[in-house]
Amino acid sequence: MSSANATLRIQDQEITLPLIVGSEGECAIDIRHLRDQTGTISYDDGYGNTGSCQSTITFIDGDRGILRYRGYPIEQLAEHSNFLEVAYLLIHGELPPPSHLRRFRQLVLGNAAIQQSMLHHFSGFPNNSHPMAMLSAMVNSLGCFYPQLASNDRSRELAQFEEAACILISKVRTLAAMSYRMKRDKPFIHPKTNVSYCSNFLHMMFSEPYADYVAREEVDRALNLILLLHADHEQNCSTSTVRMVASGGANLFASTAAGICALWGPAHGGANQAVLEMLQTIHDDGDDGTKFIEAAKSGDKQKRLMGFGHRVYKNYDPRAKILKKQCEDVLDALGLNDPLLDIALRLEEAALREDYFLSRKLYPNVDFYSGIIMRAIGIPVDMFTVMFAIGRMPGWLAHWKELAQAKSPIHRPRQIYTGHPARDFVPVENRPDP
Ligand code: SDX
């Protein structure tokens, strides 16, 4: 959507640049010809003010705490939908008719098993390997078993997109469970064919050869909600990475494996693990959170209140609101009393009385409460970011498809060079030793 113009004056040159206005009124200056017209580029370290694309998938209003997948408010999807239906919605753009949902579910649930020769990859990882390292490696390797789906021939890949997408949505879960088992030197548990997406994952995680784990309905529902709430979030770091890698023509397996790597960092998807470790430290120190909050106000990036703050939300993350309520429901349903939830609630209350957090609009984000639910389900902390990756897979796939269909150009940002001016080579014998 386009309308009106912006006028830009650079020294004695004045140019007009078109404005692009989105369906929710967001406005962008189209600077695609800025350098051609003026010889200058824009600068936006971290891209906080830069739109990389036009997208129809997810809408976020950070000031009002709004999140919608394909126009549907996250609150309604959380209450009435489920992870696989939302995955279909994100990928196809519409809620599925019953027959389409059945077919999609069958495609996903029927693709849970892993090729026998993939099992050997796991034996190559050291026992202390982080599950995210294993997951990204295994997702990329998966493409080797589907050369026809990982051909880097874009038109072929788009023609077979749904098959590849269902394989990835299904098998990322199996690979995750296998990385959990491998780390604990446990035998792999094969998927079942007659249980739900989440229950099958928990079966592959927690069953034993001699004793099946059967997920309680409340647990299946809680995990479904966590995955659904993580399914997409527009141009976050990992999704932008998927789009960056896809823009070079790379296939779905390589692009989503890159997304997993980007998600791993503690400033992004690794925050849920960091939140639990933070709450456990506060608990073990017998601190009521005051000491931690004081340290977080120092501005030291290493002492931040993990699970707080967001590049886009300058209000309460709507997902955090839903998860905070879900925490209490899940713990009640399971008859658990987790002291870390009490600490988290106290920490939030204390922080949101502090001008430091309020003045910077730092509120709980999706990671602040999600870990408490995963811990209640029995998922260990080192698997928290893996759960985020399983949830985000449909979003990555939807963005890969949107970029592929739009025939977007390769992503290649510019820079402002601030290094040495031209200088001549000095042979090593002429260089002074310090
Ligand atoms: C996710 O992008 C997405 O959509 C991501 C995500 C998704 O679904 O994909 O929503 C998932 O990644 C959520 C965020 C998880 N990360 C954390 O919880 C880690 C803790 N949060 C921060 O690192 C930080 O808030 C970020 C990275 C999330 C956002 O950082 P910004 O927007 O770049 O903010 P900034 O680093 O410029 O900080 C602005 C100010 C600074 O203080 P001043 O320099 O102004 O004095 O706020 C302070 C920061 O020091 N600040 C914090 C803080 N976060 C920012 N101070 C204490 N604790 C914090 N958590």
Domain boundaries, the chain: 5-43+50-66
Which of the residues 310, 317, 338, 399 is marked catalytic?
A: 310
Residue nearest to atom 22 of ligand 1 (CA): 309
In the prediction, which pLDDT does 3 show? 55
Q: What is the pTM of this model?
A: 0.95
> CA-CA distance, 290 to 347, in Å (whole number)?
8
Give the mutation target among 49, 311, 384 for probing the ligand 1 site: most ligand atoms within 8 A of CB.
311
Q: Angle at the Cα of 67 (from 56 to 372), degrees rounded to 5? A: 130
Q: Does residue 382 have an active-site annotation?
A: no
Q: Is the CB of 271 under 6 A from ligand 1?
A: yes
> Which atom of ligand 1 lies nearest, measured to the CA of 269?
12
Q: Is the CB of 233 under 6 A from ligand 1?
A: yes
Q: Is the CB of 365 under 6 A from ligand 1?
A: yes
In the prediction, which pLDDT does 306 show? 94
pLDDT per residue as tens digits for the range 398-407: 999 999 999 8
Neighbours of 272 (CB within 10 A): 27
Q: Is the CB of 298 under 6 A from ligand 1?
A: no
> Which atom of ligand 1 lies nearest, measured to the CA of 308?
60
Residue nearest to atom 23 of ligand 1 (CA): 267
Ligand 1 centroid vs 267 CA: distance in angstroms?
7
Residue nearest to atom 1 of ligand 1 (CA): 268
Q: Is the CB of 267 under 6 A from ligand 1?
A: yes
In the prediction, which pLDDT does 2 show? 52
Q: Is the CB of 229 under 6 A from ligand 1?
A: no
Residue nearest to atom 33 of ligand 1 (CA): 311
> CA-CA distance, 358 to 329, in Å (whole number)?
28
* Cβ proximity of 347 and 362 under 8 Å: no
pLDDT per residue as tens digits for the range 369-407: 999 999 999 999 999 999 999 999 999 999 999 999 998
Ligand 1 centroid vs 322 CA: distance in angstroms?
20
Which of the residues 230, 338, 367, 399 is marked catalytic?
A: 367
Element (H, E) at 27: strand 27-29
Q: What is the total residue count of the chain? A: 434
Ligand 1 centroid vs 248 CA: distance in angstroms?
29
Question: What is the residue-averaged pLDDT of the chain?
Answer: 95
In the prediction, which pLDDT does 197 show? 97
Q: How many CA atoms lie within 13 A of 108 on its CB side?
A: 25
- Which string of DSSP letters, residue by residue, matches 20-80? EE-TTS-EEE--TTHHHHHS-----TTSTT------SSEEEETTTTEEEETTEEHHHHHHH
Amino acid of residue 93: G
pLDDT per residue as tens digits for the range 198-236: 999 999 999 999 999 999 999 999 999 999 999 999 999
Ligand 1 centroid vs 363 CA: distance in angstroms?
10
Neighbours of 405 (CB within 10 A): 11
Q: Is the CB of 308 under 6 A from ligand 1?
A: yes
Q: Does residue 367 have an active-site annotation?
A: yes
Residue nearest to atom 41 of ligand 1 (CA): 299
Q: Is the CB of 388 under 6 A from ligand 1?
A: no
Ligand 1 centroid vs 79 CA: distance in angstroms?
28
Question: Could you tell me which residues come within 8 angstroms of residue 381 by beta carbon, excluding any fewer than 6 positions away?
Answer: 273, 276, 277, 371, 375
| Regions in the chain scoring below 70 on pLDDT | 1-3
Q: Is the CB of 394 under 6 A from ligand 1?
A: no
> CA-CA distance, 102 to 90, in Å (whole number)?
16
Q: Is the CB of 314 under 6 A from ligand 1?
A: no
3-class DSSP state for residue 66?
A: strand
